């Protein structure tokens, strides 16, 4: 697992352990006409059973799948000094917001994408900041490259775990690909109100 | 037209640098094919049959003469001396070298152009009526709204990697010339008590599963336009299918949720738009609107051109087909046909023809050119007193084909000659059909009719909305063509019906001829257009004649 973290526009030492469950591949049956959350690759994600079987590692700061936390909350809170949570990009924002979880209790919330092309991460970031008012560190996990950073940053992400094998020194430059943007996101103001227009 | 300020210019310049870096990393193998693919696509670069294809954005089809000359230079310096206008009002080059693409983008940036978001799974070039600002039936000039949407959609951070491509079109006239009902989002601008509103259609589209868009929101105050579109695209981004590219367009999501549930989700997110940082204000609207005020038209009298030149039949034919009335007395809008015997394929134009059109635009039409989704060019503001002079110059440049809206004004995608997705060739089909007609009287007698050809289900040639639609299909590895009848664009937008089993390449021209002859023999009189006749008599008479004789 990669350990190259960019936080608040700096490359930092990452002391968080990111727990990504590895699970067996099962045949996925899709029902015609039914709206379900579609995953990019059709790979499985862990069921409760799988999550219950996971052995929790002995570390101090850990990033856990949200579902795992919900299942084994007491055990987890006892074991770790600091817990961060992360979501798969196909997990439903509506579901998350209906949990009425106080997200600001957690110092890190992450979103994980399996594939670079999975753009759901941007909308999820925006919603978690805007609708759930999450104030702490929002982290992009998974297939994260230089080329997403500018957009992720503008979608509310404050840290980026760069994909294994890619240089974080190179990636961090992606944050300054553009010096201006047209539209506003989150707390910014759109270019047309910046009074820079001739 | 819109002029870049420092922000606009910085954005395109920085894009060139970003793209150069991405290409370098790809060439050094620091980016895999899979990773480079969405990056190059967002920059209009496809890898096609013979070479890469580069698609350059022409925002809402508006070009200056300076820009068109640059496009001509690019065609000469980096391609084979021509360009191809697409059905998205963009221009594409079929033969650039991969390593040259950053240089091309640099040249474009120098004249306020780019290739941003011309392909890939993102918000594509915003399109609108090619006669915006000059048409007598116009209610709202759509160009400034199109420019506002262009800026808003450029590098929108949330929508960089959508499930699939996303197309927005805007109409502001009584009759829709922007195909708003076959777009992911179609906007109809209206004015009420001097306030501007938009009706929003969603989920239209051609392609494998053609659908007509549904009216989702009526009378949305214009200040909420961006936030409402954002909520639509956000819900689509989150819930649109990503597991199957053929089911990934928003129309499939809208259909599976149902319009009511879709709307409920969108509006829950939108929350009346009042918290949106992208609420439009009057200042912004005014700032952009001033770029699109009418030029200083002269006060002129209208000319009886038909009578004046009644002895020149070719001119009168051209005048009737290729020019249309203007909101300003004494002016007309002229369409330059890129179809017919002088163009190697529908929508193609040689570099010297581009330069000629640029010169003519300077001379006759305030230095502006528009591209149309029918793959032609428009000079929008020509004085009637100068029309004949313009016509003669067009003849010299082989650009005076008088066939706008006629059967030879074929809309056609690049197809199997260039496109790697194609099932079948489309350009030779267009050419063979064109060759059927050496008799102009026959073509004029047929009157207005649209014939659209796509090389595959992706429907870049808009075959579903052609009165006659031709679609390339693959049957056990050989190329066949399915024909549909009765499609149309505009307010009455409808999708064509399949006439029956498909035909071989050799059969197609004959079948088209039979369809046309059947129409001629069954129409009430020559005022009944093909589409009206078809609506009255249905598909059966055509079917009978074609298959009975084929059998
Ligand atoms: S319709 Fe098919 S063949 Fe034609 S350009 Fe589009 S993808 Fe290519």
Q: Name the pairing type of β-strands B214-221 and B195-202.
A: antiparallel
B35 pLDDT above the threshold of 90: no
Q: Are residues B422 and B525 in the same domain?
A: yes
Q: Do A119 and B6 touch (CB under 8 A)?
A: no
B129 pLDDT above the threshold of 50: yes
Contacts of B237 in chain A (CB under 8 A): 119-120, 122-123
Among B372, B396, B420, the domain boundary falls at: B396
Q: What is the pLDDT of residue A18?
A: 94
Q: Are residues B63 and B156 in the same domain?
A: no
| Measured distance CA(A155)–CA(B85) in Å, rounded | 35
Contacts of B158 in chain A (CB under 8 A): 119, 122-123, 126, 151, 155, 185
Note whether residue B127 is domain-resident: no
| Measured distance CA(B286)–CA(B275) in Å, rounded | 22
Note whether residue B474 is domain-resident: yes
A152 — contact with chain B (CB < 8 Å)?
yes
Shortest CA gap B409–chain A (Å) = 38
Contacts of A127 in chain B (CB under 8 A): 234
For position B535, which CATH number holds?
A: 3.30.413.10
Q: Are residues B144 and B287 in the same domain?
A: yes
Q: Are residues B140 and B233 in the same domain?
A: yes
Q: Are residues B203 and B261 in the same domain?
A: yes
Shortest CA gap A9–chain B (Å) = 17
Q: Are residues B254 and B325 in the same domain?
A: no
Write down the pTM of the prediction.
Answer: 0.91
- The total of structural domains in chain B comes to 4
Number of other CB atoms surrounding residue B208 within 10 Å: 14
B5 — contact with chain A (CB < 8 Å)?
yes
Note whether residue B500 is domain-resident: yes
Note whether residue B343 is domain-resident: yes
**Best CA proximity match to B176, nearest among B214, B123, B202, B139:** B139
ipTM: 0.93
Q: Show the domain range for B15.
A: 6-110
For position B337, which CATH number holds?
A: 3.90.480.20
Our answer on whether the CB atom of B429 is closer than 6 Å to any ligand 1 atom is no
pLDDT band of B440, cuts 50, 70, 90: confident
| Measured distance CA(B294)–CA(B82) in Å, rounded | 32
Q: What is the pLDDT of residue A2?
A: 65
Q: Are residues B269 and B310 in the same domain?
A: no
| Measured distance CA(A83)–CA(B308) in Å, rounded | 85
Note whether residue B380 is domain-resident: yes
User: What whole-number percentage of chain B has pLDDT above 90?
Assistant: 82
Note whether residue B296 is domain-resident: no
Q: Are residues B274 and B349 in the same domain?
A: no
Among B396, B422, B448, the domain boundary falls at: B396
Atom of ligand 1 nearest to the CA of B414: 5
Token pair in block for residue A4: 């190259």
pLDDT band of A198, cuts 50, 70, 90: very low
Q: What is the pLDDT of residue A33?
A: 46
Query: In this predicted model, what pLDDT tens digit does every residue of A117-167 receive, in sequence order?
Result: 999 999 999 999 999 999 999 999 999 999 999 999 999 999 999 998 888
Shortest CA gap A121–chain B (Å) = 8
Query: In this predicted model, what pLDDT tens digit does every residue of B146-187 receive, in sequence order?
Result: 999 999 999 999 999 999 999 999 999 988 999 999 999 999
Our answer on whether the CB atom of B460 is closer than 6 Å to any ligand 1 atom is yes
pLDDT band of A40, cuts 50, 70, 90: low
Of A126, A179, A191, the CB nearest to B158: A126
Q: What is the pLDDT of residue A197?
A: 46
Number of other CB atoms surrounding residue B13 within 10 Å: 17
| Measured distance CA(B247)–CA(B209) in Å, rounded | 9
Query: In this predicted model, what pLDDT tens digit does every residue of B82-122 receive, in sequence order?
Result: 999 998 899 999 889 999 999 999 999 999 999 999 999 99
B38 — contact with chain A (CB < 8 Å)?
yes
Among B48, B78, B110, the domain boundary falls at: B110
Number of other CB atoms surrounding residue B311 within 10 Å: 7
What is the DSSP secondary structure assignment for residue A55, as one 8-state letter? P
Q: Are residues B65 and B146 in the same domain?
A: no
Average model confidence (pLDDT) across chain B = 93
Q: What is the pLDDT of residue A39?
A: 65
Q: Are the C-beta atoms of residues B165 and B301 closer than 8 Å to each other?
A: no
Q: Are residues B273 and B391 in the same domain?
A: no
Note whether residue B452 is domain-resident: yes
Q: Are residues B328 and B385 in the same domain?
A: yes
Q: Are residues B233 and B315 in the same domain?
A: no
Our answer on whether the CB atom of B454 is closer than 6 Å to any ligand 1 atom is yes
Note whether residue B406 is domain-resident: no
């Amino acid at each position: 697992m990669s350990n190259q973290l960019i936080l608040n526009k700096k490359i930092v030492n990452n002391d968080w352990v990111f727990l990504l469950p590895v699970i067996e591949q099962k045949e996925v049956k899709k029902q015609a006409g039914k709206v379900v959350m579609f995953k990019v690759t059709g790979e499985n994600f862990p069921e409760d059973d799988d999550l219950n079987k996971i052995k929790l590692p002995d570390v101090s700061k850990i990033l856990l799948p949200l579902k795992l936390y919900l299942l084994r909350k007491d055990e987890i809170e006892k074991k770790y000094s600091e817990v961060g949570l992360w979501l798969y990009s196909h997990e439903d924002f509506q579901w998350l917001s209906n949990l009425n979880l106080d997200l600001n209790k957690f110092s890190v919330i992450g979103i994980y994408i399996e594939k670079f092309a999975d753009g759901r991460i941007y909308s999820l970031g925006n919603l978690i900041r805007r609708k759930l008012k999450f104030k702490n560190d929002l982290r992009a996990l998974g297939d994260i490259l230089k080329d997403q950073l500018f957009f992720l940053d503008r979608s509310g992400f404050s840290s980026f775990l760069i994909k294994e094998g890619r240089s974080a020194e190179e990636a961090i430059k992606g944050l300054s690909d553009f010096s201006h943007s047209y539209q506003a996101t989150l707390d910014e103001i759109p270019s047309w109100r910046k009074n820079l227009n001739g | 037209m819109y002029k870049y300020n420092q922000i606009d210019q910085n954005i395109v310049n920085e894009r060139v640098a970003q793209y150069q870096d991405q290409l370098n990393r790809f060439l050094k193998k620091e980016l895999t094919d899979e990773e480079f693919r969405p990056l190059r696509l967002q920059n209009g670069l496809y890898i096609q049959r013979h070479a890469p294809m580069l698609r350059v954005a022409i925002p809402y089809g508006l070009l200056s003469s300076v820009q068109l000359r640059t496009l001509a230079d690019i065609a000469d310096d980096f391609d084979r001396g021509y360009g191809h206008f697409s059905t998205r009002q963009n221009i594409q080059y079929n033969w650039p070298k991969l390593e040259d693409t950053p240089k091309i983008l640099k040249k474009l940036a120098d004249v306020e152009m780019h290739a941003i978001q011309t392909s890939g799974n993102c918000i594509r070039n915003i399109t609108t009526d090619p006669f915006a600002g000059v048409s007598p039936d116009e209610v709202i000039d759509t160009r400034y709204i199109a420019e506002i949407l262009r800026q808003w959609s450029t590098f929108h951070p949330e929508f960089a990697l959508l499930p699939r491509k996303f197309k927005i079109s805007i109409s502001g006239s009584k009759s829709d010339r922007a195909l708003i009902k076959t777009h992911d989002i179609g906007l109809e601008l209206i004015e009420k008590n001097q306030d501007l509103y938009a009706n929003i259609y969603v989920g239209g589209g051609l392609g494998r599963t053609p659908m007509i868009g549904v009216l989702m929101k009526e009378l949305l105050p214009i200040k909420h336009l961006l936030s409402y579109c954002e909520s639509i695209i956000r819900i689509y981004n989150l819930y649109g299918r990503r597991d199957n590219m053929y089911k990934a367009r928003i129309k499939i999501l809208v259909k599976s949720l149902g319009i009511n549930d879709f709307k409920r989700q969108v509006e829950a997110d939108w929350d009346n738009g009042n918290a949106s940082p992208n609420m439009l204000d009057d200042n912004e609207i005014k700032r952009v609107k001033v770029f699109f005020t009418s030029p200083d038209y002269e006060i002129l009298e209208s000319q009886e051109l038909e009578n004046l030149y009644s002895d020149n039949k070719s001119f009168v034919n051209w005048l009737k087909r290729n020019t249309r009335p203007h909101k300003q007395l004494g002016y007309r809008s002229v369409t330059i046909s890129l179809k017919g015997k002088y163009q190697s394929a529908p929508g193609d134009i040689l570099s010297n023809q581009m330069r000629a059109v640029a010169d003519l635009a300077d001379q006759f039409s305030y230095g502006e050119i528009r591209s149309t989704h029918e793959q032609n060019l428009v000079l929008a503001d020509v004085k009637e007193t100068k029309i004949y002079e313009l016509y003669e110059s067009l003849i010299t440049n082989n650009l005076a084909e008088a066939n706008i809206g006629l059967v030879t004004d074929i809309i056609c995608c690049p197809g199997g000659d260039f496109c790697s997705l194609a099932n079948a060739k489309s350009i030779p089909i267009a050419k063979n059909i064109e060759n059927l007609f050496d008799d102009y009287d026959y073509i004029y007698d047929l009157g207005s009719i649209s014939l659209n050809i796509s090389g595959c289900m992706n429907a870049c040639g808009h075959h579903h909305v052609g009165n006659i639609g031709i679609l390339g299909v693959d049957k056990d590895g050989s190329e066949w063509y399915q024909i549909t009848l009765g499609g149309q664009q505009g307010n009455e937008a409808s999708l064509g019906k399949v006439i029956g089993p498909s035909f071989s390449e050799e059969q197609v021209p004959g079948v088209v001829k039979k369809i046309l002859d059947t129409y001629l023999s069954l129409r009430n009189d020559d005022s009944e257009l093909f589409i009206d006749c078809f609506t009255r008599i249905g598909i059966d008479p055509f079917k009978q004649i074609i298959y009975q004789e084929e059998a």
